[in-house]
Structure 1
Amino acid sequence: MTPAPESSDLATAELRQQLILAQVQLMELEDLRDDLRTQLASERVLRLQSQQHADQSLLANDPLLRELHAQNVTQLSALAAAKAQADALAANLEKIRQLADRTRQAHEDLTARHRALQERFTSLRASRSWRFTAPLRSVERLCRRWGGHRP
């Protein structure tokens, strides 16, 4: 059983009409949304302008508020200067830490070199040639004490 062609065409036409109406409603809703966004943006601008105007009129009419505002501005500039100084000190501290690391590394390198030289000197003194030449070195020291010159 197949539906009658007329009823199928009628249902398709009705669905097309509903689709067109839905698209029209969707476009109207999008237009309404855009209008509301524009109104919201203009209301935000107006609210900001009215707040600024209220702040300015309060500052103009109330000496205490003017004084507090001036103190606030002064404190904000002092805070900015203190922050800049803290940033500079932090940078200097980092440089000092890097220098300390390099110094520590150089100290470790020199300590290792000193140990190696000390071990070499100790092994040299323990060698036979050092012991065999000990009398010659003592004669050289005596000559230096008595004569002031080398033999």
Structure 2
Amino acid sequence: MTTVLLTMTGCVTQEHIRSRARDHAVDTVREQARHAQEQTAAELAGDPDGRDVPALVARLRTSLDQAVGPGGSVLSAASAADGTIRADLTFVAIGEAGGAGSSASVTVRLCATVEGRPAPRPVASLRDLPCPSNAPTRPGYQSIDEVVTLSD
């Protein structure tokens, strides 16, 4: 009986450690997504009239390449006929946690679309995007444990 209790306690501890690692990874990708939304609004504010849309899209893509973090990708960035600028993004993060002689590592992916229009007071919206099955992975981030959303 004592051995069974110790084993069960060990399992709960490992589960708790894995949960902490997951939480850390999820918090990271959601923070990266919010940062991408802020970067998009800032780029849109830089061209309030939307006169040079190709240059705006190119600047946005460059800015978002940084915002998605080391494991993420800009899947696409383009403008629509109505002047809306849209980018589809992936964010990938690894969360790690440890304690009581155990450790865990969890890799999560979040896919999102950020879009907005140049205006005197631009606002960029952020929404979930179903992750494509062929979403690119970067070295060190190939093994995705879970796909998450902006508000699981």
Which structure has greater strand proportion? 2
* Structure having the higher Rg: 1
Query: Which one scores higher on RCO, CA 8 angstroms, separation ≥ 6?
Result: 2
TM-score range, shorter-chain basis?
0.3 to 0.5
Which structure has greater helix proportion? 1
So what's the TM-score if we normalise by structure 2?
A: 0.32
